[in-house]
Structure 1
Amino acid sequence: MMISSATILDASILIVDDQESNISLFEQLLSEAGYMHVTSTMDPTEVCALHRKNRYDLILLDLQMPGMDGFQVMEGLKTNIADSYLPVIVITAQPGHKLRALDAGAKDFISKPFDLIEVKTRIHNMLEVRLLYKKLEDYNKLLEQTVRERTAELRESEARYRSLTELASDWYWEQDENGNFTKVSGPVLEMLGIRVEPLAGNGSTIPVAGWNEAEREILQARIAARQPFLDFLFSRTNVDGSQQTFRVSGEPMFNQSSRFIGYRGIGVEQTAK
């Protein structure tokens, strides 16, 4: 992720200083460097309102001003919840104020008397970091929106899938990650060798005869391995000697974090079609 020089020079900058000579110096320096959107104010009480309106990429803030100093301005800027990154470089002649300013939220400082090369370098570097931060913030918002949209689409698609498969098949089933059946219609339990007898009183399982054991083992193995299967042929022999053939399809289910959460499948009785 790179920020071009043209993008940096197109950034918006606000100069805050009660000395007109300092403002003129910074304006000339930034203009000669190619910055195109530079504004200024000598009234520190205007800064918060100006920033809420214009969302500056950088604020050059003098710390020592009458009426309202730079520390108070930074406290006011922190109340702007729309901006989680305080884009401030403080201007100070007091070495002891530098650490306090950084603790107050400033991202860098410029010392008086000015070293013009140092000033230009610090401004350029600060803007590059600020614009990278904004680009990442915008990307994260776009990513979150995309995830919300895709999640809604998946839920809608899954609802349609369940509705259509239940209408288009003889039976349908769902299992959780532990293999417990959470939804069943049709002879799924019998096919997998399990039939819950509701009249047994204790929910005991009764094996069902007639199913092809070799086919059942293959199907159980595929489910255990979390493999999808399509039109798997499954058969059984009834007590009267008649044969039944079933066509079975199933797929593993995963949540948004790619964690396995179970199986779902459909089937039709082939001999009845």
Structure 2
Amino acid sequence: MINTTDILNASILIVDDQVSNVQLLEQLLGDAGYTHIASTIHPEEVCALHKKNAYDLILLDLKMPGMDGFQVMEGLKKNATDRYLPVIVLTAEPGYKLRALQAGAKDFISKPFDLVEVKTRIHNMLEVRLLYKVLENYNQLLEQTVQERTAELRESEARFRALTELASDWYWEQNATGDFTTVCGPVFETLGIEATALMGKTTDDKSSGWNEVERKKLQSKIAAREPFLDFAFSRVNADGSEQQFRVSGEPIFNQSCRFTGYRGIGVETTPRK
């Protein structure tokens, strides 16, 4: 995904209090084909420069007066716009290398410079850095896509529920064991009908008045994992009045074809007087 042109167009900041070192690195990078090279001999400027320009790589001298490279890295970690500190330290002190890596540097270049080593480490570091940026951008895009898809699903679910409420008196869902996980609709509030009594597994006194032949036939369809459309059943109330209903439902299976429950809609069809 990262080609030579991408690497050569990467932005690089050279930080060294020795003008001769800055000039040497500028010439070396320019001869190698790098096109976006900046430099400073003032370490206190680095954090502001990186915040403004978001360099792909910072070549940072460790031993500088006033503010050394370790202090610069601490400042960069506080102001960084991403979680990857793109720093290669420049040092003539072997003992500083491990400390620099522990401080957040990603690599080091020894002084005096070996020109082949300098070009190789810079090229490799930029390739890793640009790949990291690609991955970070992809993750951001993926997160945004997930958020958008989640919002679409929620909106779709809201529309679905609104339509079922318009087209039916209630909407219901059961899990694999037959327990109701969702029941909504005005019929339950206005008539005081319990879902478990209407279609459930129990036969307690709440089910009094239901036509048991019809109810058992409906339960057998559910037990057989069969879909059903406009299944008619009824109940006789304590005052002798009869109520009639129709219910439709379908089994639900997950991606592994495992049964997870039922969902459906119902409507009261009792003739209005």
Question: What SS is found at the alignment partner of 2:2?
Answer: coil
What's 1:3 paired with? 2
Question: What SS is found at the alignment partner of 2:138?
Answer: helix
Would you say the 8 A contact 1:210–1:236 is kept in 2?
no
Query: CA offset at residue 210 of structure 1?
Result: 2.4
Tell whether 2:139 aligns with 1:140.
yes
Question: What are the Cα deviations for residues 53-110 of structure 1, in whole angstroms up to 9, with x where unaligned?
Answer: 0000000001111111111111111111422111000000110010011011100000
Question: Measured at CA, do residues 79 and 261 of structure 1 come closer, stay the same or move farther in structure 2, by a change above 3 Å?
Answer: farther
What's 2:190 paired with? none
Query: CA offset at residue 213 of structure 1?
Result: 3.7
> What amino acid is aligned across from residue 231 of structure 2 in structure 1?
F
Would you say the 8 A contact 1:64–1:70 is kept in 2?
yes
Tell whether 2:220 aligns with 1:217.
yes
Q: Which moved more, 1:127-136 or 1:185-194?
A: 185-194
What's 1:19 paired with? 18
Would you say the 8 A contact 1:58–1:127 is kept in 2?
yes
> What amino acid is aligned across from residue 85 of structure 2 in structure 1?
L
What's 1:234 paired with? 231
Give the Cα–Cα distance (whole angstroms) in 1 for the partners of residues 63 and 220 of structure 2.
82
> What amino acid is aligned across from residue 136 of structure 1 in structure 2?
L
Question: What SS is found at the alignment partner of 1:95?
Answer: coil
Question: What SS is found at the alignment partner of 1:18?
Answer: coil
Question: What SS is found at the alignment partner of 1:91?
Answer: strand
Question: Measured at CA, do residues 108 and 213 of structure 1 come closer, stay the same or move farther in structure 2, by a change above 3 Å?
Answer: same
What's 1:192 paired with? 199
Tell whether 2:103 aligns with 1:101.
no
Q: Size of the alignment, in residue pairs?
A: 254
TM-score by length of 1: 0.79
Query: CA offset at residue 269 of structure 1?
Result: 6.8
Query: CA offset at residue 237 of structure 1?
Result: 7.7
Would you say the 8 A contact 1:90–1:101 is kept in 2?
yes
Give the Cα–Cα distance (whole angstroms) in 2 for the partners of residues 253 and 44 of structure 1.
63
Query: CA offset at residue 131 of structure 1?
Result: 0.9
What's 1:248 paired with? 248
Gaps of 5+ in 2: 188-192, 237-241
Query: CA offset at residue 115 of structure 1?
Result: 1.2
Question: Measured at CA, do residues 184 and 20 of structure 1 come closer, stay the same or move farther in structure 2, by a change above 3 Å?
Answer: closer
Gaps of 5+ in 1: 224-228, 255-259
What's 1:50 paired with? 49
What's 2:239 paired with? none
Query: CA offset at residue 250 of structure 1?
Result: 3.8
Give the Cα–Cα distance (whole angstroms) in 1 for the partners of residues 115 and 224 of structure 2.
74
Question: What SS is found at the alignment partner of 2:65?
Answer: coil
Question: Measured at CA, do residues 153 and 13 of structure 1 come closer, stay the same or move farther in structure 2, by a change above 3 Å?
Answer: same
Would you say the 8 A contact 1:15–1:41 is kept in 2?
yes
Question: Measured at CA, do residues 20 and 189 of structure 1 come closer, stay the same or move farther in structure 2, by a change above 3 Å?
Answer: same
Would you say the 8 A contact 2:249–2:265 is kept in 1?
yes
> What amino acid is aligned across from residue 13 of structure 2 in structure 1?
L
Question: Measured at CA, do residues 18 and 181 of structure 1 come closer, stay the same or move farther in structure 2, by a change above 3 Å?
Answer: closer
Query: RMSD value over aligned CA atoms?
Result: 3.3
What's 2:112 paired with? 113
Question: What are the Cα deviations for residues 178-203 of structure 1, in whole angstroms up to 9, with x where unaligned?
Answer: 62344244586455345787xx6xxx
Query: CA offset at residue 206 of structure 1?
Result: 5.4
What's 1:125 paired with? 124
Would you say the 8 A contact 1:13–1:38 is kept in 2?
yes
Query: CA offset at residue 175 of structure 1?
Result: 3.8
